[in-house]
Structure 1
Amino acid sequence: MRYDLNKTKILAPLYLMAVVILQGCYSFTGSSLSPETQTILIRDFPNNAALMNPNLAQQFSTDIQNRFLQRTTLKGAAENPDILIEGEITDYAITPTTISSAVNAPGGNIQAAQNKLTITVKVHYENKIEPEKSFDRTYSDEAVFSSDLDINAIEASQVKVVNERIINKIFNDIVANW
């Protein structure tokens, strides 16, 4: 393979310029939090949904706390935190999305071929260092799955997927400010 020195001389400065421009546009720390922001308190999220999943509140609360404590330099605080995150789970629903019918069944039975799990969470975010960034928002996400799954399989796998997506949205809105 032949090496073209002239092409390299032209492209190298362009690559360098692109890196400098990108670095100026985006902080590679990935955080938009003020350096003065050092502590966080994330209260438990109670499950106030009509349909109850007995493990949902604890699982969601633990997962969101772990996300912030493991992926930021923030330290947990029991009182007077720089950042306060609290809220509640307001909806947990499993609904049919795709209907199938059993052709040979008497009466033409209709059943769900796929179901959808939807979880909705209200979040109150308070930033004492930068109060203008504080907000109250509702986050929701869903996962579609086969109707063949039993309730234990749904709660073991699909709930984890939906929780992860909601926590990603919350984390990005607070830390990455996307």
Structure 2
Amino acid sequence: MRYFIKAITITFSFLLTSCGVYNFTGAKPVDAKTFQVNYFQNNAPLVEPGIERTFTLELQDIIQSQTNLNLVSQGGELIYEGEIVDYRITPMTATADQRAAQNRLTITVMVRFTNRNKEDDNFEKRFSHFDDFDANQQLVGSQLNKSLDVIFERITQDIFNESLAKW
């Protein structure tokens, strides 16, 4: 019986140590302890006030919630910076009398990622996503918040995957 318990204990300890570099978010281990997200300016031709702050906070939140990196205001080993370069509303589908039945909000963000410890990971890339909404609704209030949540969740996840998960 003692031999069996020892065998189970040894097997279990090997399993725990062999899985030490994996986590449930998909982030690969990085040689960094800190990250910084610089304020993303809104340079889109059509400006929706306040979305740059919302996006910056969303990007900080996803990295903090899916890694054990510490957020710093300067001197970070991983640096995210860029700007919102496009905010566009376009009609998507039409009714029989040639009116828009559905509109699409598309937001594009230019991101520059710098890994001070591993320059091969650096990139400058555009990330874009959209949300469709009923053309009879104004893009304000709860509809705007819903669309921004959908778009920013996807864009920040794509940025996370590109910079830390390497997908």
TM-score using structure 1 length: 0.77
Which residue of structure 2 lines up, in the alignment, with residue 133 of structure 1? 121
Task: Please say if 1:146 is aligned against 2:134.
Answer: yes
What percent identity do the matched residue pairs reach? 31
Which residue of structure 2 lines up, in the alignment, with residue 55 of structure 1? 50
Q: How far 1:154 sits from its partner (Å)? A: 3.2
User: Which structure has the greater CA radius of gyration?
Assistant: 1
TM-score using structure 2 length: 0.82
The CA deviation string for residues 64-109 of structure 1, in whole angstroms up to 9 with x for no partner, is: 111112221111123221101000000000100101134xxxxxxx
Indicate conservation of the 8 Å contact 2:27/2:161, yes or no: no
Q: How far 1:146 sits from its partner (Å)? A: 1.2
Which residue of structure 1 lines up, in the alignment, with residue 94 of structure 2? 99
**Separation in structure 2 between the aligned mates of residue 63 and residue 144 of structure 1, nearest angstrom:** 21
Provide the secondary structure at the position in 2 that maps to 1:78: coil
Which residue of structure 2 lines up, in the alignment, with residue 167 of structure 1? 156
Name stretches of at least 5 consecutive residues in structure 2 with no aligned partner. 1-14
**Separation in structure 1 between the aligned mates of residue 73 and residue 132 of structure 2, nearest angstrom:** 38
Indicate conservation of the 8 Å contact 2:107/2:129, yes or no: yes
Aligned positions, number: 147
Indicate conservation of the 8 Å contact 2:27/2:66, yes or no: no
The CA deviation string for residues 37-70 of structure 1, in whole angstroms up to 9 with x for no partner, is: 1011101111111111112111101111111122
Name stretches of at least 5 consecutive residues in structure 1 with no aligned partner. 1-19, 103-109
Which residue of structure 2 lines up, in the alignment, with residue 75 of structure 1? 70
Provide the secondary structure at the position in 2 that maps to 1:123: strand
Which of 152, 155, 159 is the matching residue for 2:144? 155
Indicate conservation of the 8 Å contact 2:37/2:73, yes or no: no
Amino acid at match of 2:22: F
Amino acid at match of 1:58: R
